[in-house]
Amino acid sequence: MKKLLFLLPICLLTVSFFYVKVGAEKYEHKGRKYYEEAGQIVWEIKTDEKIVAITFDDGPHKKYTSQILDLLDKYNAKATFFIVGQNAQKNPEVIARMYKEGHELANHTFTHPLKTNVPNLLKEIKQTNDAIQNITGFKPTLFRPVEGQYSDAMIEAIVKEGYKVVMWSWHLDTLDWRSPGMNRIVDTVLKGVKEGNIVLFHDGGGNRHQTVQAMEKIIPELQKQGYQFVTVSELLEVQSKKGKKNNNP
């Protein structure tokens, strides 16, 4: 009996540890492989098709986004814009133009908070979707976290709300927000791009003159190489069709 009484606290401690451990693992960072296989986050897709998705964060900006839209129209290229809601409210005419010209509108929070919690993040996402929907009637289903930072808890909550999380090909972060020089932005893309990649640019949040200059060189050069510019959703559709084909030989 004494042995049983002695062992009881140990058993309770072991059970408690197991319970805490299981609970803690739920929100550990599961990593890229897990999320790619679960289809909850995309960084890029595997394909032999010469397609690439160019994406822009932090806009819209009345001047720079408009200049980018001019270039996209000039070269008949499509892009995906990850929109900050408060900037959408300031520039509704730019949002309306994006939508009218066939570009994809996606969500990048309302105030671009560098740190936040899950309830506030969901609130920010809803505010941005409401802003975009009020202007265009379109409700975005793609979301990109600020600075690409996320936790398992955030992803779980976002996916539950029906969103797909979109990152970018790590080697194609142009770092244009640092204003590294137009040539460096161009070199990052042209030397690194591969089929199915997602490229990260910024059209808001600062002076994006170098980004606009770089786009003038990047788009025609990649088109000369045979690349087609598609939206992120179009990229995902290619991935989906490939998956269905592999499952039904």
Instruction: From the candidates 57, 58, 176, 203, give the one annotated as an active-site residue.
Output: 57
- For domain 39-247, which CATH number applies: 3.40.630.10, 3.90.550.10, 3.20.20.370, 1.10.3720.10? 3.20.20.370
Interval 128-140: pLDDT, tens: 999 999 999 999 9
Interval 83-108: pLDDT, tens: 999 999 999 999 999 999 999 999 99
Question: Domain residue spans in the chain?
Answer: 39-247
Closest C-alpha to 184, from 168, 201, 160: 201
Which tokens go with 112? 């671009």
For residue 241, what pLDDT is reported? 79
Within its chain, how far is the Cα of 184 from the centroid?
A: 22
Instruction: Evaluate the CA torsion angle 66, 71, 75, 80 in order and state its sign.
Output: negative
Judge whether 57 counts as a catalytic residue: yes
For residue 9, what pLDDT is reported? 46
Interval 13-67: pLDDT, tens: 444 333 333 333 344 578 999 999 999 999 999 999 999 999 999 999 999 999 9
What single letter denotes the amino acid at residue 46? K
Q: Calculate the average pLDDT of the chain.
A: 90
pLDDT of residue 5 exceeding 80, the answer is no
Beta-bridged to residue 65, according to DSSP, are none
Instruction: From the candidates 103, 108, 202, 203, give the one annotated as an active-site residue.
Output: 202
> For residue 60, is the peptide bond before it cis, meaning its omega torsion is within 30 degrees of 0?
yes
Query: CB 10: neighbour CB atoms within 10 A?
Result: 9
What's this model's pTM, rounded to 2 decimal places?
0.86
Helix (H, G, I), strand (E, B) or coil at 168: coil
**Could you tell me which residues come within 8 angstroms of residue 243 by beta carbon, excluding any fewer than 6 positions away?**
none
Q: What's phi and psi for 56, nearest 5 deg?
A: -130, 130
